[in-house]
Amino acid sequence: MQSEIPESNNIQKKEQGIKEQRIRSMTNLYYSRPEIQKAIFEFSSNRETIPRYFEGFGKRPDTLQYKGDVFSMAKKGATSFHCSEEIWRDPLEIKTGMRPKELNQIRKGWDLLLDIDSKYLDYSKVLAEIIIKILRFYGIKNLGVKFSGSKGFHIIVPWKAFPEEINGVKVSDMFPEWPRIITQFIMHVSNKELIEKVTQLTKETSGFSKYVRDFEAPKEVIPDLVLVSPRHLFRAPYSLHEKTTLASAVLDPDKIQDFQPRDADPLKVKVKNFMPESEEGEASELLREALDWYKGKQDEEKDSSSENQKNYQSKKISGGFKPMKVTNLSEDLIPPSIKKILEGVSDGRKRSVFVLLNFFRAIGLEKKDIESRLEKWNEKNEISLKGGYIKSQIDWSYRNKIVLPPNYDKDYYKGIGVSPTEEEIRLKNPVNFVSRKLWILGQRAKEVAEQKKKAEKKAKKLLKPKKPEKKTDKN
């Protein structure tokens, strides 16, 4: 066995040498293209941008000062370029060993970069499409997608799409904690559909679906998302990949299934913009929902051995919630906060749809009734949502399990401008409010029935003819 080790090392070195020769023969020609230099340079603005010299990275921090720096570094041996997710006031101010507070002072913001990692490109395509669907469900219309250069994809949601603050916390200061939470939340939401689609794909191709059972399955079967870390770098758009010599090309989000590695041929690739023009705050709903989910997840883990595990939020997370069936939703049964939202809102329309839709489904209203109620509510809003948006949210909801609306201690209600009453906060969730009211009505009905029964019994007793008294003979 010992004699085989040097031979194995020689084979690896030979393969590595071939890959190095291949990419080095391409770099000067490829990076000399003005449109490639422009794409990398414009994306790198206010980011750490580090060249890689095949086997190792250049010094940090570093950045591109001019468009021509791309070609200059390539001529010195750079094979690829890697950018930070964080956006800095001046990347060159970064120093090794800086404390988080010091980094916060010079960080302007961060992009959400979802890095799909898999051993199989087809599985990465499945996850990429699911993630795009999830992002759009939460109101994110503007996102960028690019090929990683190997067997994965990168999806970006720009910093502009996120709010500046949530509950007094600066969002720019919450890197890498909040991007990690969003990433974990997306994997949680995509879990079921991902396994179903990958299972179906393996049935159609190799018959190995028996290995696809859950996220404990082999990593080569189920793609995953790479979690970010402080000063995390990722391959810049249109940078080459050392192992494949393919370009990290930008794709149309709606045509991922059509993509083939040959589309990233550096000699043929066409330049597109990776960074979309986002609307301010369009990722707010996703961030709030991810933070709520994470808080609920922590609470569930903390209370796993206590009675609190049986509350409605735990049931929401574990999938154990069983909806009730309200056949006649009277005004008395509707929680005050829900009533307030139903009067129409000036802000938080999409969050309101999320609350109302989950509330109505959880109490068992029919789909047509829900559609009608949401249409009437939308007409009352200061600015109405497009009808297509509400319909798409309803359709999405009915393709998934019923879940509870957010608890009253969540940021959803504050973001809409609604303040729950003390009774609501005590009951925790709008569905609990309805359940409590139904119980009270049931108790009252029982009391009324018992009183009626007693009254009838008493009336019968009064109406019953009295027996004549027996006369006694005094003699």
Contact 350, 287 (CB under 8 A): no
Contacts of 383 (CB under 8 A, 6+ apart): 346, 349
Rounded Cα distance, 160 and 154, in Å: 18
- State the pLDDT at residue 226: 82
Work out the percent of the chain whose per-residue pLDDT is above 90: 52
pTM: 0.67
In CATH, which superfamily holds the domain spanning 15-284?
Answer: DNA primase, PRIM domain (3.90.920.10)
Above 60 in pLDDT, residue 210? Answer: no
| Closest by CA position to 135, among listed 351, 259, 295, 282 | 282
| Closest by CA position to 238, among listed 251, 248, 225 | 248
Q: Give the pLDDT confidence of 436-473 residue by residue, as tens digits.
A: 888 888 788 787 777 777 777 777 777 666 666 655 55
What's the pLDDT band for 19 if we cut at 50, 70, 90?
A: confident
Above 60 in pLDDT, residue 172? Answer: yes
Q: Give the pLDDT confidence of 349-389 residue by residue, as tens digits.
A: 888 888 999 999 999 999 999 999 999 999 999 888 876 88
- State the pLDDT at residue 197: 87
- State the pLDDT at residue 280: 93
What's the pLDDT band for 221 if we cut at 50, 70, 90?
A: low
Domain extent listing, the chain: 15-284, 318-434
- State the pLDDT at residue 46: 97
C-alpha gyration radius of the chain:
31
The H or E element containing residue 235 is strand 233-235
| Closest by CA position to 418, among listed 426, 406, 427 | 406
Summarize the confidence of residues 329-341 as an average pLDDT: 90
Longest dimension (CA), the chain: 144
- State the pLDDT at residue 222: 67
Strand boundaries in 119-182, DSSP class E: 144-147, 153-157, 165-166, 169-170
Rounded Cα distance, 153 and 251, in Å: 9
Q: Give the pLDDT confidence of 26-64 residue by residue, as tens digits.
A: 999 999 999 999 999 999 999 999 999 987 899 999 999
| Closest by CA position to 275, among listed 312, 236, 331, 321 | 236
Measure Cα distances from 336 to 183, 356, 418, 421, 433 in Å. 34, 13, 9, 7, 10
Beta bridge partners of 250: 146
Q: What pairing do the DSSP bridges indicate for beta strands 112-117 and 153-157?
A: antiparallel
- State the pLDDT at residue 313: 44
Rounded Cα distance, 53 and 166, in Å: 41
Mutual orientation of helices 387-398 and 349-362 as an angle, nearest 10°? Answer: 40
Work out the percent of the chain whose per-residue pLDDT is above 70: 84
Contact 429, 409 (CB under 8 A): no
Mutual orientation of helices 177-205 and 284-302 as an angle, nearest 10°? Answer: 90
Above 80 in pLDDT, residue 475? Answer: no
Summarize the confidence of residues 116-137 as an average pLDDT: 93
Burial degree of 29 (CB within 10 A; 0-12, 13-18, 19+) = exposed
Above 70 in pLDDT, residue 325? Answer: yes
Contact 355, 412 (CB under 8 A): yes
Q: Give the pLDDT confidence of 77-115 residue by residue, as tens digits.
A: 999 999 999 999 999 999 988 999 999 999 999 999 999
Q: Give the pLDDT confidence of 404-435 residue by residue, as tens digits.
A: 888 888 777 877 888 899 888 888 899 999 88
| Closest by CA position to 103, among listed 217, 216, 232, 200 | 232
Above 70 in pLDDT, residue 13? Answer: no
Q: Give the pLDDT confidence of 223-265 residue by residue, as tens digits.
A: 778 878 888 899 999 999 999 999 999 999 999 999 999 999 9
Rounded Cα distance, 286 and 406, in Å: 13
Rounded Cα distance, 432 and 2, in Å: 69
Q: Give the pLDDT confidence of 258-316 residue by residue, as tens digits.
A: 999 999 999 999 999 999 999 999 999 999 999 988 887 776 666 544 444 444 444 44
Summary mean pLDDT of the chain: 84
**Bigger pLDDT: 340 vs 399:** 340
Rounded Cα distance, 340 and 414, in Å: 12
Contact 168, 295 (CB under 8 A): no
> Taken in order 459, 463, 465, 466, is the CA torsion positive or negative?
positive
- Burial state string for 319-333 with b = 16 or more CB within 10 A and e = fewer than 16: eebeeeebeeeeeeb
Q: Give the pLDDT confidence of 176-191 residue by residue, as tens digits.
A: 999 999 999 999 999 8
- State the pLDDT at residue 387: 67
